[in-house]
Amino acid sequence: MALREAAGLLPLLLLLGLAGSAVRAGQVPLLAWSSHSSLWSPLAAPHEGHVVTETQLAALLDSALNNGPHNVLLLLQDKLSVEDFTAYGGVFGNKPDSAFPNLENALAAAPSSLVLPSVDWFAASAVPAFLKAKLGIAPLHVDQNTLQELRLNASLPALLLVRLPYTTGSSLMAPKEVLTSNDEILGQVLSALQSEDIPYTAILTALRPSRVARDVSDLAPEKVGRQLLQKDETLSPLQYPKTGTPKMLFWATNFSVAIDNTVHDLTSLTFGNNTSVDVDGSKSAPDASLLEMKYANIGGSSLTIRFHIRNLFYNVSARHWFSLYLVQLIVGGSPPVNFTATQITAPSNYSFSCARVSSYPASSEALLVPSGNQQWRVLMTDFQIQCYNVTGLRFSYASDCAGFFSPGIWMGLLTSLLLVAIFTYGLHMVMSLKTMDRFDDPKGPTISVPQTE
């Protein structure tokens, strides 16, 4: 019987089913042990990284209830994650420091046990409804006050439910103290069961994870985690024209524009094999070129970005140099927003590269200076462009925007010069010291030192 079918009528589970994908992606641990042996085979435990689903969990619990005792103890914690065992469990044999001594002893002494590190929390939260449907009885809530009055019969099924709290206080010790208290409650309940010599099966799990990692698989499935034998994929540069022999190349690992703190990432729309950007409005000429990129829908309206490039001959270097001198953003039919580009220049047979090109002065080597007071911002990381002498889809040798003397080099040189100056001055002072060339003889006449010496 599937867990969702058993809990299908519960409004709580229906609300949980409507939770966001980021929360649904969480998992909770489930630990089970029994006084009967051979309830779970060693192969029942999943391999590392596997998330146990509803159907798989239902099959494991159904097998235990069919072959094992019908006195079931369900320890249901509000929140729990496998990271709690890592953070607060005894490590490297340091058992006194563990927050779970009773749980560890119970698992070690049980004839059969099952440890599931990752169970879909939606499936784990339906365990009470599944046990209720399987045993045909309502759960009996047990606390410290009713332990002394607890009487069980081995021939009659019983479902004992113990609710355990959890806290996420700001103090690092607060969760450990609560987990230690929960473990003491676990020890008291197990002692009461063992005193009556009643066979039982115990299950410890949680309603929700205490630590949830955001699920971004729907946002960027190709960038989440690393798979076996995975290769690093680099998006191909943008070329003009898109078909035929390229005349201009443009590439960046991050190409974004922002307005009023709303960032629009254009990277996936610009670079790669199947992109939606339109570059048909671009032009390539020996003295001046234009790279125009049109996006159909960015923030609810069309966006056009233009790179204006000129190519001039300089007699001093006896070669042509191209420079990107203007960047324009056009939103819909609004007037263009202009950014004056500085330091983006290279020989025509080279490409130009820079770690960061943006309109944020504190974070870029090559600046895009906005004209006037406007809210648009541009950011390009690992920027590279080539407008002339393009051969294939590979950039030529890059002229980098970083100068030969970086701020770190200047700081090192000035500090070294200061230390050398101090050392030279000290050495000069030591070498200027003079000792006495005449000494007083106690048996002879007193030395007279003229005032003129």
The most confident of the ranges 11-20, 237-246, 397-406 is 237-246
- Over 80: is that where the pLDDT of 21 sits? no
Least confident of 95-104, 127-136, 344-353: 95-104
Q: How far is CA 67 from the centre of its chain?
A: 44
For helices 173-195 and 101-109, what crossing angle results, to 10°? 40
Q: Which residue has the higher pLDDT, 145 or 342?
A: 342
Q: What's the pLDDT band for 363 if we cut at 50, 70, 90?
A: low
Which pTM value belongs to this model?
0.44
* pLDDT exceeds cutoff 90 at 270: no
Q: Which residue has the higher pLDDT, 439 or 393?
A: 393
pLDDT of 102 strictly over 80 = yes
pLDDT at 418: 96
**CA neighbours closer than 13 Å in the CB half-sphere of residue 254:** 13
Percent of the chain with pLDDT over 90: 6
Please give the pLDDT value at position 412: 92
CA distance 333 to 69: 75
Alpha carbon of residue 342 to chain centroid: 34
> What pLDDT band is residue 416 in, cutting at 50, 70 and 90?
very high
Percentage of the residues of the chain whose pLDDT score is greater than 70: 78
Separation CA 428–CA 222 (nearest Å): 66
235-261 tens-digit pLDDT: 788 888 888 888 889 988 888 888 776
pLDDT of residue 213: 55
What is the pLDDT at residue 357? 84
Q: Considering only 124-128, 229-233, 314-318, which range has the smallest mean pLDDT?
A: 229-233
Mean pLDDT of 196-203: 86
Quick one: pLDDT at residue 115? 87
Q: What confidence score (pLDDT) does residue 45 get?
A: 64
By the 8 A CB rule, do 327 and 378 touch? Answer: yes
Dihedral angle over CA of 449, 450, 451, 453, nearest 10? -90
Provide the mean pLDDT of the chain: 78
- What's the CA gap between 428 and 19, in Å, rounded? 78
State yes or no: pLDDT of 76 exceeds 70: yes
Give the mean model confidence (pLDDT) for residues 408-433.
Answer: 92
Mean pLDDT of the 161-166 span: 83
pLDDT the model gives residue 447:
65
pLDDT value of residue 419: 96
Q: Any idea what DSSP says for residue 126? A: T
**28-54 pLDDT tens trace:** 899 999 888 877 766 566 666 678 888
